[in-house]
Amino acid sequence: MEQMICAVCGNEVESGRLQCPYCQAECNGNVLPPTGAFHRLVNLKRGMPLVQLALDRLDGEINLSKGLGCKALTLIHGYGSSGAGGAIKTAVLRQLHFLHHQGRIQDVIPGEEFEGRSGRGRQLLRRFPFLAEHRDLNRANPGVTLIIL
C-alpha cells in the first residue's frame, strides 16, 4: 500500500486513512507525499566557533531543516570544559527557548531529559517513532539538545 506523510507530525500514514495513528490529526487533504529525512544531526561546536557564530549556524540549520521537511533536529553544542556548561550551550538553550516562545519551533528537549520512560518521552516517541533509534535516547547527554520543528 502507498505511504504518505502526515503534515502534522511527519510520520508515515497509509493512503486512504482518515486519521494519523500517531498524532490523531485528520488526514483529509493534509497528508503530503514523503520528501526527505525526518531527522538531522548538526554539530554547532564544529571548529570551536565563537558563540555568535554558533547562534548564526543554529538559525541557518533550523531554516534549512524546515525547508527540507525535517521534523526533528539534534544539536551538538557540547557541555563545556569547565564542567558547568559551556557558553555555546547556554546561549543555544536561551535562543531555543526564545524561538519556542515565538512559535518558530515546537519543542526543546535538553539531552539530560531525552528519555523514553517518562510521559513526555513516551509521547514524543509515539508521535515520532523514528526517534526510538536516536543515539542519545536514555543517555542523559548534557552536550546535545533535541528540537522539534
Output the nine-digit C-alpha cell for 49: 566557533
The residue ranking higher by pLDDT, 80 or 121, is 121
d(CA 96, CA 36): 24
d(CA 105, CA 113): 18
- What is the residue extent of each domain of the chain? 1-34, 36-148
- Virtual CA dihedral for 64, 121, 33, 38, nearest 10 degrees? 30
Quick count: other Cβ atoms within 10 Å of Cβ 72?
24
Output the nine-digit C-alpha cell for 69: 521537511
The CATH class given to the 36-148 domain equals alpha beta
Task: Pick the range with the lowest mean pLDDT from 18-27, 63-72, 103-112, 123-132.
Answer: 18-27
* Per-residue pLDDT tens digits for 27-84: 765 444 444 568 888 999 888 889 999 999 999 999 988 988 889 999 999 886 655 5
CA–CA distance from 52 to each of 55, 121, 134, 147 (Å)? 5, 31, 28, 19
Per-residue confidence (pLDDT) for residue 92, from 0 to 100: 95
* Per-residue pLDDT tens digits for 125-147: 888 888 888 888 899 899 999 99
Supply the pTM of this predicted model. 0.73
Kindly state the average pLDDT of the residues 97-120.
92
d(CA 17, CA 28): 8
Task: Give the residue from 11, 138, 131, 2 showing the smallest Cα distance to 74.
Answer: 131
Per-residue confidence (pLDDT) for residue 28, from 0 to 100: 62
d(CA 143, CA 81): 11
**Contact (CB, 8 A) for 130 and 39:** yes
